[in-house]
């Protein structure tokens, strides 16, 4: 990665991220991969599935696998009545829905402002994190959807 000084970076390329919150942490994933954002949906449980797979939801006739990112990333388990939102992403030809606590704005970040992930991160976070962005409201963790899904696959 090109580690240019932050001051020069404003002129470079920028990328857009959909941001969402898990507990106290804000994360961002590339906007292009996100298909849509939904309010809480009825999720059909799949007995025996790995713990982070909350189940399947019906998105206009298509089956979407719901992944609870709190479990994937080792945060406190979601209470049954706790509210959540769905960030629906498409990978290959399959749809996945990330269950998150809150969805924020789409932010535009200069590529050069993305710093490498901290080496002190928890292993699961480190596996999915591609970079860190410093913002006024705290750090934004840029995550890779492929790696997030791979975490669940490994768990499975």
**Parallel, antiparallel or unpaired: strands 62-68 and 94-100:** parallel
- Residue 144 near other proteins by CB under 8 A: no
**DSSP state for residue 115 in the 8-state scheme:** B
Nearer to other proteins, 57 or 114 (CB): 57
Contact region with other proteins (CB under 8 A), list: 12-20, 39-47, 76-84, 114-122: 39-47
Work out how close the CB of 45 gets to other proteins at its nearest, in angstroms, rounded to a whole number. 7
Q: State the binding string over 68-107 for other proteins (x if CB under 8 A, else -).
A: --------------------------x-x-----------
Q: Please tell me whether residue 153 adopts helix, strand or coil conformation.
A: helix
CA dist 43 → 58, 66, 99, 117, 156 (Å): 8, 8, 11, 33, 19
CA dist 16 → 33, 34, 83 (Å): 11, 11, 26
Find, among 51, 84, 58, 85, the residue nearest to 154 by Cα.
51
Q: State the binding string over 43-72 for other proteins (x if CB under 8 A, else -).
A: -xxxxxxx--x-xxxx-xxxxxx-x-----
Find, among 76, 127, 78, the residue nearest to 99 by Cα.
78
Work out how close the CB of 144 gets to other proteins at its nearest, in angstroms, rounded to a whole number. 16
- Residue 138 near other proteins by CB under 8 A: no
| Interacting residues with other proteins (CB under 8 A) | 42, 44-50, 53, 55-58, 60-65, 67, 94, 96, 149, 152-153, 156
């Amino acid at each position: 990665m090109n580690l240019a000084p932050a001051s020069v970076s404003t002129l470079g390329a920028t990328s857009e991220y959909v941001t969402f919150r898990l507990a106290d942490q804000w994360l961002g994933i590339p906007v292009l991969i996100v298909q849509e954002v939904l309010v809480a949906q009825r999720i059909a449980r799949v007995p025996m599935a790995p713990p982070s797979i909350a189940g399947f939801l019906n998105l206009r006739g298509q089956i979407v696998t719901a992944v609870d990112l709190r479990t994937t990333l080792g945060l406190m388990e979601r209470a049954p009545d706790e509210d959540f939102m769905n960030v629906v992403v498409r990978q290959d030809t399959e749809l996945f829905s990330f269950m998150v606590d809150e969805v924020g704005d789409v932010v535009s970040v200069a590529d050069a402002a993305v710093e490498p992930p901290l080496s002190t991160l928890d292993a699961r976070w480190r596996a999915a994190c591609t970079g860190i962005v410093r913002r006024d409201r705290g750090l934004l963790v840029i995550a890779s959807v492929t790696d997030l899904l791979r975490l669940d696959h490994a768990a499975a």
